[in-house]
């Protein structure tokens, strides 16, 4: 779940950066109606982020790499599959 939180934050930051750059670009190019219509987009994006952050914060579970490897080994041994990396 921690990875999805980071991906979500990166997407939101990138989206807001893009929106602000487009607002500035359209303002420089003289597109006043388009600029005025896109000004609410970063605000809507931040409201969306605020509504979804509790979803990621509530049930975060961190699994160490060692624990994940042990679970993976146990599952493959139970299934009877012995990949090359797990052979003695």
Predicted local confidence at residue 74, as pLDDT? 79
Q: What is the DSSP letter of 62?
A: -
Which residues fall within 8 angstroms of residue 72, CB to CB, at 6 or more apart?
none
Widest pairwise Cα distance in the chain? 69
- What is the DSSP code string of 3-46? HHHHHHHHHHHHHHHHHHHHHHHHHHHT-HHHHHHHTHHHHHHH
- For 7-36, the pLDDT digits (tens) are 888 999 999 999 999 999 999 998 889 899
Nearest to 6 by CA among 71, 62, 67, 66: 62
Residue with tokens 């931040």: 46
Take residue 46 and report the two structure tokens written for it. Answer: 């931040």
Predicted local confidence at residue 66, as pLDDT? 77
- For 23-71, the pLDDT digits (tens) are 999 999 988 898 999 999 999 999 999 998 877 665 545 666 777 777 7
Which structural domain range is residue 32 located in? 2-86
Number of domains in the chain: 1
């Amino acid at each position: 779940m921690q990875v999805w939180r980071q991906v979500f934050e990166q997407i939101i930051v990138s989206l807001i950066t893009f929106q602000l750059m487009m607002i500035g670009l359209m303002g420089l190019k003289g597109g006043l109606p388009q600029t005025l219509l896109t000004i609410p987009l970063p605000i809507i994006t931040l409201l969306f982020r605020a509504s979804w952050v509790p979803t990621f914060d509530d049930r975060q579970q961190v699994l160490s790499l060692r624990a994940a490897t042990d679970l993976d080994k146990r599952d493959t041994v139970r299934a009877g599959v012995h990949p090359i990396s797990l052979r003695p």
